[in-house]
Amino acid sequence: MKKGRSLAGRYFQYGLLTLIVHLAASCSDSPPPPPPPSNMAAAAPNPLSTQVRADRKLIVAFGDSLYAGYNLDPGKGLAPMLEKSLAAGGLQAEVVNAGVSGDTSAAGLARLAFTLDGLPRKPDLMLVGLGGNDMLRGLDPSATRDNLNAILRETQKRKIRVMLTGMLASPNMGRDYATAFNSIYPDLARQYGLPLYPFLLDGVIGRRAMLLPDGIHPNDQGVNLIAARLAPIVSKELQP
């Protein structure tokens, strides 16, 4: 019971913090970001310009700031830490950081083809983690679902194996919003037969020692925990 209260408390704190972020974004004098440009080649760097060794698996981490290593030193983001966790478990892999801070699911969809076309070969696995910024902006969950569905259709067409990492709606978004949003990831995982890590921030959110001062993004220690939890699932998916 104590554990349950602790989890509930952390989730409540998550709601308060995301509300603050949401209000800050709403009250900002800055205009909303423009829609993703159609020419993504001019808008985003090639995530991987070097060749991958033939004896290494190629994994693409395609997501937002939680993937991109927001406010972390080089080598401390999710991609490099997952690579280290996999190596510690005996799997040699190149994990490409294709995370872009601030990306919505629509922005991710807009850059998907450019990202995949810029790789030296088809990845052995692609992690997809988008939708958190949609939730923070209060965007319609049906649009988030449609965008993620389009991403998965494209990866399916290219015969790329995918693992979804999910997000949960903040409690302050209301029950109806949470019901619509939280069902997106398990529904799509079932539809496409994909492995799902239900909540990327599980074990991190609400724990001050695991978070940056904003209270939402993981710090080095938090990313290390997430990578350690993801690694066994990723390794299992890459078994012959």
Structure tokens given for 90:
């005996």
For the question of residue 26 being annotated catalytic, the response is: no
Residue type, 194: L
Considering the candidates 64, 65, 105, 134, report the single residue annotated as catalytic.
65
Catalytic, 214? Answer yes
Read off the tokens for 25: 């974004």
Contacts of 129 (CB under 8 A, 6+ apart): 61, 62, 63, 64, 66, 67, 99, 164, 165, 166, 167, 200
103 a catalytic residue: no
* Alpha-carbon Rg for the chain in angstroms: 17
State the Cα–Cα distance between residues 120 and 177, nearest whole angstrom. 40
Count CB neighbours of 190 within 10 A: 10
Assigned token pair, 125: 């696995």
Out of 29, 134, 217, 220, the active site residue is 217
Indicate the helix (H) or strand (E) that contains 61.
strand 57-63
Annotated catalytic residue within 22, 183, 214, 220: 214
Task: Show which residues are catalytic.
Answer: 65, 214, 217
